[in-house]
Amino acid sequence: MIYLDNSATTQPYPEVMDTYRTVSEYYFANPSSLHSLGGKSEHLLTRSREQAAALLEIEPNEIVFTSGGTEGNNLAIKGAAFAYRNRGRHLITTTIEHASAGNAFAQLEALGFEVTYLPVNSDGRVSFDEFIKAYRKDTILVSIMHVNNEVGTIQPIEQIGNFLKQKPKTVFHVDNVQGFSKVPLHLKESGIDLCTVSGHKIHGPKGTGILYVRKGTQLSPLFAGGGQEHQFRSGTENLPGICGMVKALRMTLENEREGIDHLMKLQQQLFDGLAKIEGAVVHTPKHFSSPHIVNVSFLGIKSEVLVHILEKNDIYVSTKSACSSKESGASGTLTAMGISDQEAEQAIRISMAYETTESDLGVFLQTLTEKVGQLKTVMR
């Protein structure tokens, strides 16, 4: 099997699953229980929080464990908007956010908030100048993803964050689900107040995530309940998932430098190979892009057809974002970049992990070249 859909989800590390099973079996008690078994679970939860904080170079009380990227984005966006609505009702985001962010802003608009959606250029990147023009005195929240989940474009997070450091009444949220461990981003230095990370994108268990909440930042909780996670996220903690995710976090960050270098070589291998295939149009920019994603259209060939043909050869890629892949119509990200609906409907996303090999890509490119050629012959 050649798995090239890592932006949708990654295969959990075996060590992560070992941790998940062990914690499930021996630390099953509720961390909030007063008895000794509960105390052991609470101790393990505290230790996991401290380990995650050390890895991210933040404070333990700045970590909120969540169920993943969707919950993290909703808690950050809605929670900040509701908490600071007395300061103003203007919000800024982009036209190419993940559905979990974009739909959250649509809901806030329906409740009376005003949202400015920053456009992107042909590379899928927002303009810092356009952001400055959009910023207002009553802007209470800016939310921009670090790395686009479909084409891999990196946004000017540090530049925007440095500007917002001088605007203490504005909260800055970054969706870092795709960029984490692929494009380095220091939370403190970048002026970020809220940051979303998902466990299953870094070889951890599904249903796990972290929301970084900078000390002093307020959020209105989405869930009413027992007040777990510093009152921000009520509900009994998923201790096996949290421990597994923290192990995945450590293992991933230990290999980050070598992993990114490896991904950069793989991405160049893809760029070179795709350039030799007739009708291939690459949408991922060669500059300002994460090294693990390449988005490409094959003119005249529907993306779904190509995905299923590759699957028959035990090769797995995707079309658009996994959360939107079953929806009909062209990718909103690609059309926002100025790509026609027809061409956007012919795009596939190739996404790699540290474990992807040059041999994997060699077989993939050879198979892809053959299948695209066969399809074009049939269609002539």
Beta bridge partners of 194: 173, 213
Torsion sign across C-alpha atoms 149, 48, 207, 253: positive
Q: Is 180 left (phi over 0), alpha (psi -120 to 50) or beta?
A: beta
Alpha helices by DSSP H, the chain: 14-26, 36-56, 69-83, 99-110, 128-134, 157-164, 239-254, 256-274, 303-312, 332-336, 341-344, 358-379
List, in order, residues 6 or more apart from 359 with CB less than 8 Å away.
Answer: none
Q: Is 243 a catalytic residue?
A: no
Total Cβ atoms within 10 A of residue 166: 8
Q: Which of 99, 251, 280, 323 is catalytic?
A: 323
Cβ neighbors of 152 (< 8 A, separation 6 or more) are 178, 284, 289, 290, 291, 292, 293, 294, 295
Tokens matching residue 157: 């997070």
- DSSP-derived secondary structure letter, 138: T
> Longest Cα pair distance anywhere in the chain, in angstroms?
73
Pairing of β 63-66 and β 209-213: antiparallel
Count helices and strands (H / E) in the chain.
Answer: 12, 12
Interior/surface letters 320-359, b for 16+ CB within 10 angstroms, e for the rest: bbeebbeeeebbbbbbbbebeeebbbbbbbbbbbbebeee
Nearest to 198 by CA among 97, 68, 74: 68
Separation CA 245–CA 247 (nearest Å):
5
Q: Are 150 and 123 in contact (CB under 8 A)?
A: no
- Write the DSSP symbol of residue 288: S
Active-site positions?
323
